[in-house]
């Protein structure tokens, strides 16, 4: 629901409110139906689904209910409480209605863990794309304070203020909060039902990582030298050296967080459990590690060329072709007869992604020019640059999965 809401309200889409309303209602019905397909008590599943969805959506409902400029009086709080209660009842009712349309079924503990891990990964992948849009639109300083937003509680910033660059930056913050909640939920689920010390530890590391990532993003805002606000909008700001460094580190760390979740998805997947033994040899292990190191260097050089200086572009391009050679080797070895089907698919996806990434890289250079940008240059550049950055995160995630498979113990 959050992803659909974000896409429909993007400044260059600006879908009508009626469209968003019907899409969200449809998603509630589908969600209740899906919950019923996973639980023997379909009505209880629908109720829980509706309540959880309502509570998460309350994080942004305040921006709609609270009028701009109104003080939080007793009457306002009462109106807010009644609105929230009504919203919970509506969400629960729609979810239960969807549950009625599906026969009760059940899923086991491992399937639940796998679904939780995939949910966290998917939400984080969307967040990486949203962060890429913030960078491409040069909207990182559209909201000049943190953790508040223009002095408001982050979740109560009026919806009327979320336009243009403010929309990109503030929606990024809100979606980051959602990813934080999903990550904590995943960690608790792994601790209670994972049945593996490694998964419990990885869940804890993911929570620490998402907290660290949020703090990095906040400090990037608070450590600027100055920010001038005119009529509720930031018109200019002075970037400090520390803020610029935090900006680079924040972007890179987000992609490593996605790769960590990809590892958790791999270790909780059914095909990981169904393949009892590893089949990678020394060449596979070394090539996967080398690929991870090359990708790390590429991410750093890409961030430096995007934020600091175009002097990093040439070594970044050379590194891309070296990386492609390693990926082709991995793809070829993935086609060997003794390799598992999952390992082969990872190799093929890496080859396709690497070729597409190089093409997107040259397209990004073509539309962005030879200078580091200080403002957005249009929709085409925004979409191309964001796609290039997001695909880089996907390649790193595939590499994390590859390392798991090449180092899977032989029993």
pLDDT at 144: 84
Residues of the chain scoring pLDDT < 50:
none
Q: Give dist(CA 336, CA 250) in Å, integer.
A: 39
Cβ(363)–Cβ(224) below 8 Å: no
Cβ(42)–Cβ(104) below 8 Å: yes
Q: Looking at 251, 274, 297, which one is the last position of a domain?
A: 274
First vs last C-alpha separation in the chain: 43
322, 348, 3, 89: CA torsion to nearest 10:
-150
pLDDT at 77: 66
Q: Looking at 240, 256, 274, which one is the last position of a domain?
A: 274
Are 118 and 251 found together in one domain?
A: yes
CA atoms within 13 A on the CB side of 264: 34
Count of domains observed in the chain: 3
Are 119 and 246 found together in one domain?
A: yes
Q: Please tell me whether residue 144 adopts helix, strand or coil conformation.
A: coil
DSSP 279: -
pLDDT at 276: 66
Cβ(193)–Cβ(113) below 8 Å: yes
Predicted TM-score of the model (pTM): 0.89
Are 124 and 40 found together in one domain?
A: no
Are 242 and 102 found together in one domain?
A: no
Residues 323-360 as b or e (16 or more Cβ within 10 Å = b) = bbebbebbbebbeeeebbebbbebbebbbebbeebbeb
Q: Give dist(CA 225, CA 243) in Å, integer.
A: 8
CA atoms within 13 A on the CB side of 176: 25
Domain that holds residue 374: 275-411
Residues for the chain: how many in total? 411
pLDDT at 377: 65
Are 211 and 305 found together in one domain?
A: no
Tens digit of pLDDT for each residue in 188-212? 999 988 668 899 999 999 999 999 9
């Amino acid at each position: 629901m959050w992803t659909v809401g974000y896409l429909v309200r993007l400044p260059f889409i600006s879908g009508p409110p009626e469209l968003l309303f019907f899409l969200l209602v449809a998603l509630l019905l589908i969600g209740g139906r899906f919950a019923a397909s996973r639980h023997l008590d379909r009505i209880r599943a629908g109720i829980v689904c509706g309540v959880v969805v309502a509570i998460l959506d309350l994080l942004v409902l305040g921006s709609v209910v609270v009028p701009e400029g109104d003080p939080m009086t007793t009457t306002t709080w009462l109106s807010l409480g009644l609105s929230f209660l009504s919203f919970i009842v509506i969400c629960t009712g729609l979810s239960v209605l969807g549950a009625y349309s599906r026969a009760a079924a059940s899923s086991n503990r491992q399937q639940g863990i796998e679904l939780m891990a995939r949910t966290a990964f998917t939400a984080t992948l969307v967040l990486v794309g949203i962060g890429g849009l913030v960078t491409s639109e040069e909207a990182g300083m559209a909201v000049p304070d943190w953790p508040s937003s223009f002095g408001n509680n982050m979740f109560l910033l009026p919806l009327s203020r979320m336009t243009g660059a403010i929309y990109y930056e503030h929606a990024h913050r809100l979606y980051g909060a959602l990813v934080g909640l999903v990550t904590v939920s995943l960690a608790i689920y792994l601790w209670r039902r994972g049945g593996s010390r490694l998964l419990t530890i990885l869940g804890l590391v993911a929570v620490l990582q998402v907290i660290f990532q949020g703090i990095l993003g906040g400090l990037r805002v608070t450590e600027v030298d100055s920010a001038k606000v005119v009529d509720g909008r930031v018109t200019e700001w002075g970037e400090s050296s520390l803020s610029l460094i935090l900006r680079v580190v924040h972007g890179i760390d987000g992609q490593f967080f996605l790769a960590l979740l990809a590892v958790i998805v791999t270790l909780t997947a059914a095909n990981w459990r169904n393949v009892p033994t590893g089949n990678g040899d020394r060449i596979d292990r070394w090539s996967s590690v080398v690929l991870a190191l090359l990708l790390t260097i590429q991410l750093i050089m890409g961030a430096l060329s995007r934020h600091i200086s175009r002097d990093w572009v040439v070594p970044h391009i050379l590194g891309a072709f070296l990386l492609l050679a390693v990926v082709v080797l991995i793809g070829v070895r993935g086609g060997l007869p003794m390799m598992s089907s999952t390992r082969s698919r990872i190799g093929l996806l890496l080859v396709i992604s690497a070729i597409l990434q190089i093409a997107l890289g040259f397209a990004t250079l073509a539309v962005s020019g030879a200078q580091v940008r200080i403002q957005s240059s249009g929709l085409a550049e925004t979409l191309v640059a964001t796609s290039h950055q997001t695909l880089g995160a996907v390649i790193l995630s595939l590499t994390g999965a590859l390392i798991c498979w090449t180092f899977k113990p032989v029993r």
